Amino acid sequence: MTTDLVKTLADLKEKEVIKIVESRLSAGEDPFKILDDARSGVEIVGKRFAEGDYFIPDLIYAGEILKIITDMIKPNLMKKVEVKRLGKVIMGTVAGDIHDIGKNIVVFMLDVNGFEVLDLGIDVPAQKFVDTIKETGSKIVGMSGFLTLAFQSMKDTVEAIKKAGLRDEVKIMIGGGQIDEEVRIFSGADAYGKDAMEAVKLAKGWIGG
């Protein structure tokens, strides 16, 4: 059995991952170190996805394995984890649209890659995005949408942000099944990404990392 958590998780070997975590915990190892390794493993999953070696099921499965590890480690944590974050990203599926598979994958990959993600959920009104920018000072907003009617909601949301005088404070990225450069121009967003790793790349480009 391999003892390398990073590699074993990157290879999506769930049962072996659990064994490694169990033995490291019972050896009294610092749980933060284990969590760090787990995150590094999932980062490799993301890289493999970006390179075309992994696909959506691999990302989802990696997320499930990470959840199990977190649940195993939780009882061993004396205090809440204070992970150093690259910055805050607001995410949500725009008004009128409840599709969230794509959005959830983006949230997961941003989180694993060191961002603090404020997930507003689905069918999010423009004002909610505006309020959250004000409350949190987040510098990045990600909008997701699957339906053709989402194009208009994205545009409305960008307008609302502009009206609130916050347009220059934030970078806005959009994504979803039909989203392309034409929709980006229509909506007034700064960029669009075709998948979760592009969202990570955009976010890192905007606020360092």
Partner 1 sequence: MVKKWEEMTAEEKQDAQFQKLLIPKDHEGNNLKFQSPEAEANYKAAITRLKDAIQLRKTPDRVPVTIFPGMYPFIYSGMNLHEAMYDYDRCVAGFKKFVLDFKPDVHFGAAAPGPGKFYEILDYKLYVWPGHGVSPQSIYQCIEGEYMGAEEYDLLITDPSFYFRNFYLPRVFGALIPWSMLPPLTGILEMYGVAFSFIPYGLPPVQSAYKALFEAGAEALKWAMAVGGVDIELATMGFPQILGGFTKAPFDTLGDTLRGTKGIMVDMYRRPDKLLEALDKITPIMINMGLGAAKQTGKPFIFMPLHKGADGFLSDNQFKTFYWPHLKKVILGLIEGGCIPFPAAEGSFNTRLEYLKELPKGKTVWMFDQTDLAKVKALLGDTICIFGNVPSVMLQLGTPQQVKDYCKKLIDDVGQGGGFIMANGAFFDEAKPENVKAMVDFTKEYGVYK
> 112 to 171, contacts with partner 1 by CB under 8 A?
123, 147-149, 151-152
Instruction: Please identify, using beta-carbon distances, which residue of 116 and 123 lies nearer to partner 1.
Output: 123
How far apart CA 158 and CA 149 sit, in angstroms, is: 15
How far apart CA 175 and CA 178 sit, in angstroms, is: 8
Rounded to a whole number of angstroms, the minimum distance from the CB of residue 123 to partner 1 is 6
Q: Which residue in 132, 125, 189, 198 sits closest to 162, CA to CA?
A: 189
Q: Are 8 and 65 in contact (CB under 8 A)?
A: no
Q: Residue 152: enclosing H or E segment and its boundaries?
A: helix 149-163
Residues 175-204 as x/- pattern, contact with partner 1 by CB under 8 A? --xx-x-xx--x--------x---------
Instruction: Please identify, using beta-carbon distances, which residue of 32 and 186 lies nearer to partner 1.
Output: 186
**Cα distances (angstroms) measured from residue 35 to each of 7, 13, 50, 67, 77:** 14, 16, 23, 11, 11
Rounded to a whole number of angstroms, the minimum distance from the CB of residue 63 to partner 1 is 8
Among 61, 114, 188, 207, binds partner 1 (CB under 8 A): 61
Rounded to a whole number of angstroms, the minimum distance from the CB of residue 105 to partner 1 is 10
Q: Is 67 in the site for partner 1 (CB under 8 A)?
A: no
> 18 to 47, contacts with partner 1 by CB under 8 A?
none
Q: Are 129 and 141 in contact (CB under 8 A)?
A: yes
Interacting residues with partner 1 (CB under 8 A): 12, 14, 54-58, 60-61, 64, 95-101, 123, 147-149, 151-152, 177-178, 180, 182-183, 186, 195
